[in-house]
A and B are shown apart, each in its own frame.
Chain A
């Protein structure tokens, strides 16, 4: 799912505009597989897969694969539609320097949800 996140985010002009002041690298962990995602002026400019020895990032979101899979369904099951829903159920951990995340919450929520569009596209093609 992460293969397409840069394309999906960067193609969404309104989302890029919402994140125009964002300049950070965050870490997304699916099980123990870490990926670093670099954001500059609202665009995703780099997606680097781990493993890393000394990963440098502001904040990290960590969840098991099955949780991310449900979260990325075009219409997620109840309780899986929002990162805070997952955090509340202790299915996701958000850690590190949360300032860029909280200061740009609406932006990052849509960035994280972007792979849902891919699922929608795939279903449309069937």
Chain B
């Protein structure tokens, strides 16, 4: 009997990202409309494995996820040891456009969670014609840090444990244990300072998109918003405010938190399928 692999294929794509050579780690499954998935801060593509294993999704969509440089299996560029990683909005936008080009994606749908849910707002504002549609999971136009981020990267505190400890409350208390702890494991495996570096984009003026919301035109690129009710980082109020300013439809997901696709994939997919139906009908 041959081994029963999951339908997910993971490969490395040598390409230039932000002007530097990289080996980009990419996973994909399914056929159809390209659906580019963006992981959260300090995590990686594994967050989307539930989606990539669901035929209701992969029957109509080519689901693609990539590890951002410094994350998962995409190593940082050569010379990283001399730098402090810090994600900026212009770099994050360019990274996504570079990846689309390297993968030769023609008007994909982009779906991002948390920092990914923020960057899709920037994409909606600056590059609406490059995407067929955008899906923001746990989208807030701005989030203030509510603890001292320096705790996330210092030699006398275990980085993996503190990153997981910080985000643990963002998983819905109703989530299944396996989903909760796998989500936290991803955080425990993040490289030193990577989560903190991502949060620069998330918690400073750099990634703040509040004053751009009124300029987002959802007739040029449809935008859909899905937020878990237990998310106190990207709050439901923040998502609903985006919906009000942009006209984008928003759904508040019951019994889900900040990591819907990995904390409880089955429940999340139930909320995602109607959005994917609408995108197919565009």
Show the binding face of A for B, using Cβ within 8 Å. Answer: 75-76, 78-79, 81-85, 87-89, 98-99, 102-106, 109
Q: Does B166 make an interface contact (CB < 8 A)? A: yes
Which of A75, A82, A85, A102 is most buried by chain B, counting CB atoms within 10 A of its CB? A102
List of B residues within 8 angstroms of A104 by Cβ = 161
- In addition to A98-B151, A105-B168, A109-B165, 14 A-B residue pairs with Cβ atoms within 8 Å of each other are A75-B173, A78-B230, A82-B170, A83-B169, A84-B166, A87-B146, A88-B232, A89-B232, A102-B151, A102-B157, A103-B158, A105-B161, A106-B161, A109-B169
Bound state CA distance, A37 and B243, in angstroms?
46
Sort chain B's interface into a size bin. Answer: 20 to 34
B156 touches A103 (CB 8 A): yes
**Nearest opposing residue in chain A for B230, CB measure:** A78
B235–chain A nearest beta-carbon distance, Å: 9
B153–chain A nearest beta-carbon distance, Å: 12
Residue of B157, B164, B170, B233 near A99 (CB, 8 A) is B157
Q: Does B80 make an interface contact (CB < 8 A)? A: no
A47–chain B nearest beta-carbon distance, Å: 23
Known: A76-B173, A99-B156. A84 touches B164 (CB 8 A): no
Task: Identify whether the interface residues of B are mostly helix, strand, loop, or mixed.
Answer: loop
Residues from 93 to 124 in B contacting A, C-beta threshold 8 Å: none
Q: Does B13 make an interface contact (CB < 8 A)? A: no
What total of A-B pairs shows CB separation below 8 Å? 53
Residues from 118 to 134 in B contacting A, C-beta threshold 8 Å: none
Residues from 210 to 256 in B contacting A, C-beta threshold 8 Å: 229-230, 232-233
List of A residues within 8 angstroms of B174 by Cβ = 75
**Nearest opposing residue in chain A for B173, CB measure:** A81
A84 touches B230 (CB 8 A): no
List of A residues within 8 angstroms of B169 by Cβ = 81-85, 109
List of A residues within 8 angstroms of B146 by Cβ = 84, 87-88
Bound state CA distance, A105 and B162, in angstroms?
6
Bound state CA distance, A109 and B148, in angstroms?
17
B232 touches A79 (CB 8 A): yes
Residue of A82, A102, A103 near B232 (CB, 8 A) is A82
Bound state CA distance, A98 and B152, in angstroms?
13
Bound state CA distance, A67 and B137, in angstroms?
29
Q: Does B147 make an interface contact (CB < 8 A)? A: yes
Q: What would be 13 A-B contacts, judged by CB atoms less than 8 Å apart? A: A81-B173, A82-B168, A83-B169, A84-B166, A85-B169, A85-B232, A87-B146, A89-B232, A98-B151, A102-B157, A105-B162, A105-B168, A109-B169
B218–chain A nearest beta-carbon distance, Å: 28
List of B residues within 8 angstroms of A85 by Cβ = 169, 232
List of A residues within 8 angstroms of B148 by Cβ = 98
B170–chain A nearest beta-carbon distance, Å: 8
Bound state CA distance, A88 and B174, in angstroms?
21
Bound state CA distance, A81 and B161, in angstroms?
19
Bound state CA distance, A89 and B233, in angstroms?
11
A3–chain B nearest beta-carbon distance, Å: 24
A-B residue pairs, 5 tightest by C-beta: A82-B169, A105-B165, A88-B146, A85-B232, A106-B165
A66–chain B nearest beta-carbon distance, Å: 18
Bound state CA distance, A15 and B77, in angstroms?
39
B147 touches A87 (CB 8 A): yes
**Nearest opposing residue in chain A for B233, CB measure:** A88
A34–chain B nearest beta-carbon distance, Å: 23
Bound state CA distance, A45 and B229, in angstroms?
38
Bound state CA distance, A93 and B104, in angstroms?
50
Bound state CA distance, A81 and B169, in angstroms?
7
B232 touches A84 (CB 8 A): yes
**Nearest opposing residue in chain A for B170, CB measure:** A82
